[in-house]
Amino acid sequence: MAEGFFTLLKEYGKAAVELLFPGETCLICGKTTNQGYLCKSCADKWENFAWGRPCDYCGVFVRQEHSQCRWCQIEPPLYIERARAFGVYQGYLRDRLLAFKYEGQTSLAKGFGVLLTKLVVREFAGISFDLISSVPVTEKTMAKRGYNQSLLLAQAVSSGIGVPWADHLLAKRADVVSQTTLGREARIANMRDAIVPLDVDLTGKRILLVDDIFTTGATAYACGKALKQMGAAGVWVITVAAGTDFQ
Ligand SMILES: [Zn+2]
Ligand SMILES: [Zn+2]
């Protein structure tokens, strides 16, 4: 009984400490941490590429012994320099991303911004970006959802790395069908002309494009194409998560 009492006391103590010093939740595994939204164990894994290494070109994770995903082996991305993702789109991270995109949990942008800032520092350290851009949503989506999750991430990364963000560089056509039920080739064809460049001169600018998920790359490539049409010198992409190609 005494043991039970002390366990109880310990639990209360722990709860009181958490109340006084609330830790953040590790966005990869869901454990409480005081280390900036990434627990020690997940930080080690991230540093050692434990969940796969990134494809040379795109954000997809591949086996350690591979250097490119099966799609980039056929044709490397045309309109972007490189894409990088923080984690694999699965488990707790996937749940959080869905809550962020569809359930109004916009406060998650802060933690995702911390992870994305780490990613930029590691992957794109030598590049001095001029502007941070985001993937546009249609007016209908904006009216329904009330926010653009990609723009919230771009703003969080902007304060993380001290590069200005810009909205209204790109627009998304209203008549694009939802991507979620389409296969890879259909997605790329569907998105090809879905992103429209707006009347902004980006001549010579190095753009960092920020989004939540890199799946087939269709969205990133369409944005890259439009940004290049506007004169951008280069487009680099970061996302919170990406898929895997463990062939
Ligand atoms: Zn963790
Ligand atoms: Zn690839």
pLDDT for 154 beyond 80:
yes
pLDDT tens figures, 187-228: 777 787 889 999 999 999 999 999 999 988 999 999 999 999
Residue 55 Cα to ligand 1 midpoint, Å, equals 23
pLDDT at residue 237, as a whole number: 98
- In contact, 81 and 205? CB cutoff 8 Å: no
pLDDT at residue 247, as a whole number: 74
Domain boundaries, the chain: 1-47, 49-245
Residue 44 Cα to ligand 1 midpoint, Å, equals 9
Per-residue pLDDT averaged across 22-28, rounded?
Answer: 88
pLDDT tens figures, 96-128: 999 999 999 999 999 999 999 999 999 999 999
Q: Which residues of 120-155 are buried (b: 16+ CB within 10 A; e: fewer)?
A: beebbeeeebbbbbbbbbeeeeeeeeeebbbbbbbb
* Range 49-245 classified under CATH 3.40.50.2020: yes
Residue 88 Cα to ligand 2 midpoint, Å, equals 14
- Locate 137 and state its tokens: 């949503």
Residue 45 Cα to ligand 1 midpoint, Å, equals 9
Per-residue pLDDT averaged across 155-163, rounded?
Answer: 97
State the distance between the two ends of the chain, measured CA to CA, in whole angstroms: 55
Residue 181 Cα to ligand 2 midpoint, Å, equals 21
| Residue percentage of the chain with pLDDT more than 70 | 90
Kindly report the pTM of this predicted structure: 0.88
pLDDT at residue 10, as a whole number: 62
**Nearby residues for ligand 2 (ion, Cβ within 5 Å):** 55, 57-58, 60, 69, 72
Which ligand has the minimum distance to the alpha carbon of residue 115? Answer: 1
Residue 150 Cα to ligand 2 midpoint, Å, equals 21
Residue 72 Cα to ligand 2 midpoint, Å, equals 4
